[in-house]
Structure 1
Amino acid sequence: MRYVWFGLVFAVLPLASFAQDTLLERLDTTDAGRAWEAVGRLDINGSGFCSGALIAPNLVLTAAHCLFDRVSKARIDPETVQFLAGWRNGRASAYRTVRRAVVHPDYVFDQDVSAARVRNDVALLELQHPIRNTTITPFETAGRPAPDEEVGIVSYAKDRADAPSLQEVCRVMARQEGVLVMSCNVDFGSSGAPIFSFAGGTARIVSVVSAKAEVEGQRVALGTSLDEPLARLRDELDRGGGFNLAPPPEVNRIAVGQTRRDTGAKFIRP
């Protein structure tokens, strides 16, 4: 595995400030998972899964890299993706297939996970049919959280794929080059999982999990703030965009006169 070091940003962060982080709580009963039915597992092409969350009756928010094949780098046919809302112990509150998918226009899928990739690692899935179920309420989204703000995460992962888990309190450690660094506990399968702010007593999605990393021995989650990326995705849907429209680029493109920005960070995808 490869881990990321985010430079000098963390040299001034007191690690004790993250001592209040809560442990993962499995949501494997109806009562425990009642508030999180709009979070679901995305079964992808019969060979893997990610996490995702409903933000409208017909729209699921997730990570862009979930929609690319790691080996061929080809885009995955969205019709082979299924959203399992509230998936627990072999049952879902609703099943839906995906009609089309849009990823951030500046997102580039390649083998090297960089800060630029994480910053744009967001996708919207339009479902074949809306989910209109009184027990499944789409989540609102909110602007970028402030450093040290408390956030939470609901996700699936390789060792807990049959039910979601909640970490009710983790924190925003820093923002760097448009990337949010959070003390949330994630693992493989957590890609695309919603990161929630609880400001005002309402859970709103402020980020999605793009990668996991390590800072001074502490495991962290990486994602992007949603303000600008989500607006661009919605605009792309409104203009009729979506897969499969063109082959994905295989290399990063740099405009004339533009220098490559390299933080030296190394990432791993969850």
Structure 2
Amino acid sequence: MKRAGALLMLCLFGGGALAAPAVALPGLGADSHRSVVDVNTAPWRILGRVQTSLGGRCTGFAVAPTVMLTAAHCLWLPATRHYIQPADVHVLMGYAMGQYRLHAQVTRFVIAPGYDPANEGGTASEDRATLVLDRPVVTSADLVPYGEARMSAAAMLIGYPQDRPEVPYGDVACQINGLALNGLIHHDCSATRGDSGGPLFVRQPDGQWGIVGIDVLATEGRGGFAAPLPH
């Protein structure tokens, strides 16, 4: 009887505790549409998982053989109110399910001078970090040119999101919704925590893809904002 009673209590009450509902992540919405991409093919070869020795993970992308961009907030440590040391930041190129094409160490990084982690929302348009690596991670032929963001233009955003951190995962069928006066680019791509630092691609008038921004903020529903690229 004690055993049967325990099982009954588990069915009535324990099931909810053992199978708590998943917390809704910002930026995905109810109609999120994402898929896995092959980061060993163009244009995704520039993509890397940026991770720290403290367990932090974000996304980054190469803009030169030994230079990557990511979101500055990925390198900020709220507990110490300082940025992490460059030696504690690593990049895994082509990462998927524990495998990667290349590992690189960050030797130094530069935070955009206008970014203030104490005023993240107010300075989101400057939420950029330039990472200098200890070795080349792509060839010049792999690089994707900068482009121009235009209203309603087709867009793509891929990263390593919190709910799928082991695979390059994202939205390849979204669009640009607006351009803010401070430079932020509003998109409706399904992207959330962990995608920060990922490249926002926009199809250009000639049909080619160009990078226009760095994913930095997620909205309550599907979509978010990208910071403009450095000049």
Q: Fold conserved (TM > 0.5)?
A: yes
The residue aligned with 1:219 is 222
C-alpha offsets along residues 187-234 of structure 1, whole Å, 9 cap, x if unaligned? Answer: 1111101100122333321111111013xxx322111222xxx12xxx
* Match among 181, 189, 197 for residue 194 of structure 2: 189
Normalising by the residue count of structure 1, what TM-score does the alignment of the two structures yield?
0.68
C-alpha offsets along residues 80-119 of structure 1, whole Å, 9 cap, x if unaligned? Answer: 1111111011111111000110111111112x532x3211
Q: Which runs of 5+ in 1 are unaligned?
A: 5-20, 232-270
C-alpha offsets along residues 228-255 of structure 1, whole Å, 9 cap, x if unaligned? Answer: xx12xxxxxxxxxxxxxxxxxxxxxxxx
Letter of the structure 2 residue corresponding to residue 223 of structure 1: A
Query: Between Structure 1 and Structure 2, how many residues are aligned?
Result: 201
SS of 1:129's partner is: coil
Letter of the structure 2 residue corresponding to residue 83 of structure 1: V
Matches within 5 A, 1:1-270: 23-27=33-37, 33-35=40-42, 36-110=44-118, 112-114=119-121, 116-132=122-138, 137-143=142-148, 145-176=149-180, 177-199=182-204, 200-214=206-220, 218-226=221-229, 230-231=230-231
Bigger CA radius of gyration: 2
C-alpha offsets along residues 3-37 of structure 1, whole Å, 9 cap, x if unaligned? Answer: 99xxxxxxxxxxxxxxxx9821112xx5x752212
Letter of the structure 2 residue corresponding to residue 87 of structure 1: Y
SS of 1:119's partner is: helix
The residue aligned with 2:16 is none
Cα deviation, residue 166, structure 1? 3.4
Q: Distance in 1 between matches of 2:138 and 2:59?
A: 20
SS of 1:140's partner is: coil
> Runs ≥4 in structure 1, deviation > 6 angstroms?
none
Q: Is contact 1:22–1:168 with CA below 8 Å preserved after alignment?
A: no
C-alpha offsets along residues 20-75 of structure 1, whole Å, 9 cap, x if unaligned? Answer: x9821112xx5x75221220100123311000011110011111111111222211
SS of 2:142's partner is: coil
Deviates more, 1:161-170 or 1:91-100: 161-170
Q: Is contact 2:170–2:190 with CA below 8 Å preserved after alignment?
A: no
RMSD: 2.4
Letter of the structure 2 residue corresponding to residue 70 of structure 1: P
Instruction: Indicate how the Cα distance of structure 1 residues 132 and 225 shifts in structure 2: closer, same or farther if over 3 A, else same.
Output: closer
SS of 1:185's partner is: coil
SS of 1:170's partner is: strand
Q: Distance in 1 between matches of 2:138 and 2:197?
A: 22
Cα deviation, residue 147, structure 1? 1.7
SS of 1:141's partner is: coil
Q: Which runs of 5+ in 2 are unaligned?
A: 1-22
Q: Distance in 1 between matches of 2:87 and 2:146?
A: 26
